[in-house]
Amino acid sequence: MKNSILMSLILIFALPAFAQKVDSDKAFFTSMEENRQWPSYRGYYASGYLDDAALPDSFNVETSYNVKWNIEIPGLGLSCPTIWDNRVFITTAVSSQDKEGYLTGLYGDIEPVEDSSEHVWKVYCFDKSSGKLVWERDAFKGIPMVKRHPKSSHANTTVATDGYHVVAFFGSEGLYCYNVDGELLWKRDFGLINSTWHVVESAEWEFSSSPVIFGNKLVIQADALNTAFVAVLDLSSGRTIWRQERDEISGWCTPNIYFDGEKARVAVNGFKHRGGYDLETGEEIWKMSGGGDIPVPAPVVWKDLIYFNSAHGSHAPLMALKNRIVGEISYPEKEEDPGDDFAWFYDRQGAYMTSVLVYDSLLYRLRWNGNLSCFDARSGKIIYKNTVNTSSFIACPVASDGKIYMVSEIGDLYIAEAGREYKLLQKIPLGEASLVTPAISEGMLILRTASRMIAVSEH
């Protein structure tokens, strides 16, 4: 109790100074990087890497060698672990009847799981050192408004935290903001967000766009059959600062933040409406249409470039756009001459599910079928193409200390050497299916499988 009161007092006095610092735009990125947290989807603004983490070279789930803890997570959830200091946050949706699990592998089945049972949407907080439960909260209880894809769940989105606020977005079932001690600060209901494939309206696949925190602002993207918008909310109250409607089909992309000079912008992926918005006002800065017609990957930012990729349909673009672009951007007709707004562009090099990884000036793109390609991040030159394995991959690659970590759907972790040549270092079985991007912390790799969360550490 005393510790809780002390933490609250520290946060009350520390937050105004922190907010003043982060409101100076780029200072927020600097402070987050220095804190070395894994605060949201793919860590530090979807970058997907954390160096000097001292992860073990190998581990064994079956024998518990270099496994710090291995705990059961009830229900189904594809949210990634989020880490701040000694706390790990994750979500799930629990039902007594939905026992089908996940359908893994390469297939084209579009029909949703037929389940109308009552679910409980949960937010968990665990102690990073021990794996012990710190708190759990039931955010919502009811029958899901939207069905899930067999490779999906009703808790797909990753929690975002700044060390005080803990935000979980469950689509049609609401947006919830807790503090780190599990107290509900506010919640929002956006009604039905019908994440359905636009070609076949019965193909309901559930929501999957994670929230992003920037200073005292919360960024959300919701592209669905019945509604499409991007919005910025006040993090402390949940009040809408601005909301922009979008002419868009259903998408499953997480937004990101980039900078044009000193101006913070919101980057969103999409099919009809890829673009950038002013973080403060919501003004649309640029817009571009075209690409894969089932957009899933998040934009990734590196230096003065914004990387987009998508697939499905006649186009599968992988592109690097310059951060100073404005206006209506045309989809390039030629790869060799995409236009001044692009650093480089490919029409058929994108991935269907996974966001790219930019690490040590190289860009890695992992496809669903296990094809890994490496590009020069600045020029776009293809360095190599390699097949990691013929297994299917939905989890995004992450990196640490010169190594790339890739998890296959059937539950094998592939560790490869980062660099201009592909070299597989380890293949480690996790014991069951895994469709979730790993999280990295100081001395620890945290993996989520179909029913468990595993902390790998030498310490």
pLDDT of amino acid 31: 58
Residue length, the chain? 459
**Side-by-side strand order, sheet with 342-346:** 300-302, 305-309, 318-322, 342-346
- Give the structural domain span for 350: 24-457
Is residue 350 domain-resident?
A: yes
pLDDT of amino acid 191: 98
Is residue 12 domain-resident?
A: no
Phi, psi for 133 (deg, rounded to 5): -70, 125
Instruction: Please state, in angstroms and rounded to a whole number, the distance separating the CA atoms of residues 427 and 58.
Output: 9
Is residue 16 domain-resident?
A: no
Mean pLDDT of the chain: 92
**368-396 pLDDT, tens per residue?**
999 999 999 999 999 999 999 888 999 99
Is residue 51 domain-resident?
A: yes
Instruction: Please state, in angstroms and rounded to a whole number, the distance separating the CA atoms of residues 336 and 77.
Output: 42
Phi, psi for 11 (deg, rounded to 5): -65, -35
Helix (H) or strand (E) holding 6: helix 2-22
pLDDT of amino acid 103: 85
Instruction: Please state, in angstroms and rounded to a whole number, the distance separating the CA atoms of residues 391 and 412.
Output: 9
Residues with Cβ within 8 Å of residue 124, at least 6 apart in sequence: 73, 89, 90, 91, 92, 133, 135, 136
**409-428 pLDDT, tens per residue?**
999 999 999 999 999 999 99
pLDDT of amino acid 201: 84
Position 30 confidence tier, pLDDT thresholds 50, 70, 90: low
Instruction: Please state, in angstroms and rounded to a whole number, the distance separating the CA atoms of residues 459 and 456.
Output: 9
**228-252 pLDDT, tens per residue?**
999 999 999 999 999 999 999 999 9
Question: For residue 431, what is the domain's CATH number?
Answer: 2.130.10.10
Is residue 4 domain-resident?
A: no
Instruction: Please state, in angstroms and rounded to a whole number, the distance separating the CA atoms of residues 156 and 153.
Output: 6
pLDDT of amino acid 106: 81
Domain count, the chain: 1
Instruction: Please state, in angstroms and rounded to a whole number, the distance separating the CA atoms of residues 133 and 284.
Output: 43
Q: Which of 81, 122, 124, 117 is nearest to 99 (CA)?
A: 117
Instruction: Please state, in angstroms and rounded to a whole number, the distance separating the CA atoms of residues 44 and 440.
Output: 10
Instruction: Give me the sign of the Cα torsion angle 418, 421, 422, 425.
Output: negative
Average pLDDT score over residue span 13-28: 41
Pairing mode of beta strands 284-288, 327-329: parallel
Phi, psi for 431 (deg, rounded to 5): 100, -20
Of all residues in the chain, what percent carry a pLDDT higher than 70? 93
Instruction: Please state, in angstroms and rounded to a whole number, the distance separating the CA atoms of residues 210 and 78.
Output: 11
Instruction: Please state, in angstroms and rounded to a whole number, the distance separating the CA atoms of residues 302 and 380.
Output: 13
Is residue 5 domain-resident?
A: no
Is residue 3 domain-resident?
A: no
pLDDT of amino acid 34: 59
pLDDT of amino acid 391: 85
26 pLDDT exceeds 80?
no
Is residue 2 domain-resident?
A: no
pLDDT of amino acid 22: 39
DSSP codes, 360-375: TTEEEEE-TTSEEEEE
Pairing mode of beta strands 362-366, 240-245: unpaired
- 119, 143 Cβ separation under 8 angstroms: yes
Residues with Cβ within 8 Å of residue 17, at least 6 apart in sequence: none
77 pLDDT exceeds 60?
yes
